Amino acid sequence: MKHYTLIGEKLGHSLSPQIHERLFALRGREADYDLTEIPRSDTASQFPKLRETGGFNITIPYKTEIMPYLDRLDRTAELYGAVNCVQVRDGVLTGYNTDCDGFLLSVRELGASLSGSVLLVGCGGVGRMIAIAAALEGADLTVQVIEPDIPLAEKTAAEIHSHRPDAPVTIITAEQPHAEHYDLLVNATPVGMFPKTEACPVAEELIGRCDAVFDVIYNPLETQLLKKAKALGKPCENGLAMLVWQAVSAHRIWDGDEYTSEEVRGIIAEMEKLL
């Protein structure tokens, strides 16, 4: 039986074992998946043991720290400067980034366009990766940030332009004018999570001018942003879909397994019941 794991510092409420074990079961693979908590003071001694696994995932705070321990980096890891999935093959560790696969596949299933106008709220962490992914997909990207985060957004815009010099990227604050219409609105801020569950990152009037809405938050499953979007009849999705779809990409990397949209939606529905 192959063994897979997720490494991180604090993993108490992770859904990863349930998601991955469902994916293994769907393809009849004899494999298990568990959680490996590694203290920051003990990272170097733990990483070599991971060569004995079938593959593994990485979460905070090791997505960048693990990179020097790997033998190879896929272009996705180089592009986003972080690794969340490692393939182990013949003792060789190859790092990938499937986080943005999760985002792109979730948006595709939502039926939203990434080749049109996209409003991204927030640009730190996952927001940075979403900004790069959307721009490389052809989006006309507007990034809304709070004033102290403008330098961070400008740095991300520079990264985007190093890969696609002609990419249209506009940086604004909430007080500045927005476009009349956006094909997709993405929230990549913690606004809507505990303890800000009653807060919404944008005004309802702005939601009404967006064709679809994606919120990276999945706990709670329905943020104020998503509630308002649903009330306006907008197609919308939370970050649980992103979590499951990035796991699907990991199984493609590890074992070459493919999954249907129906199978993935079934797992998303199962995971919703666990939250």
Q: Distance between the two ends of the chain, CA-based, in angstroms?
A: 29
Whether residue 6 has pLDDT greater than 90: yes
Q: Where exactly are the structural domains of the chain?
A: 2-98+241-272, 112-234
Strand partners, 182: 210
Q: Do domains 2-98+241-272 and 112-234 have the same CATH topology?
A: yes
Written as six digits, the tokens of 203 are 């005004």
d(CA 99, CA 105): 10
pLDDT digits (tens, 9 = 90+) for 34-81: 999 998 877 777 777 888 999 999 998 999 999 999 999 999 999 999
Burial of 233 (0-12, 13-18, 19+ CB in 10 A): exposed
Whether residue 93 has pLDDT greater than 90: yes
Q: φ and ψ at 193, to 5 degrees?
A: -85, 165
Give the active site residue among 2, 10, 49, 63. 63
Confidence of residue 156 (pLDDT cuts 50, 70, 90): very high
d(CA 225, CA 212): 11
The answer to whether the CB of 132 falls within 8 A of the CB of 79 is yes
pLDDT digits (tens, 9 = 90+) for 219-271: 999 999 999 999 999 999 999 999 999 999 999 999 999 999 999 999 999 99
| CATH code reported for the domain at 112-234 | 3.40.50.720
- The topology under which CATH files domain 2-98+241-272 is Rossmann fold (3.40.50)
Written as six digits, the tokens of 240 are 């649980």
pLDDT digits (tens, 9 = 90+) for 175-225: 999 999 999 999 999 999 988 899 999 999 999 999 999 999 999 999 999
Show the 3-state SS of the chain: CEEEEEEECCCCCCCHHHHHHHHHHHCCCCEEEEEEECCHHHHHHHHHHHHHCCEEEECCCCCCCCHHHCCEECHHHHHHCCCCEEEEECCEEEEECCHHHHHHHHHHHHCCCCCCEEEEECCCCHHHHHHHHHHHCCCEEEEECCHHHHHHHHHHHHHHHHHCCCCCEEEECCCCCCCCCEEEEEECCCECECCCCCCCCCCHHHHCCEEEEEECCCCCCCCHHHHHHHHCCCCEECHHHHHHHHHHHHHHHHHCCCCCHHHHHHHHHHHHCCC
pLDDT, mean over the chain: 95
The answer to whether the CB of 127 falls within 8 A of the CB of 141 is no
Sign of the Cα torsion 275, 187, 19, 106 reads positive
Instruction: Assess whether 63 carries a catalytic annotation.
Output: yes
Q: What is the pLDDT of residue 248?
A: 98
Q: What is the pLDDT of residue 113?
A: 87
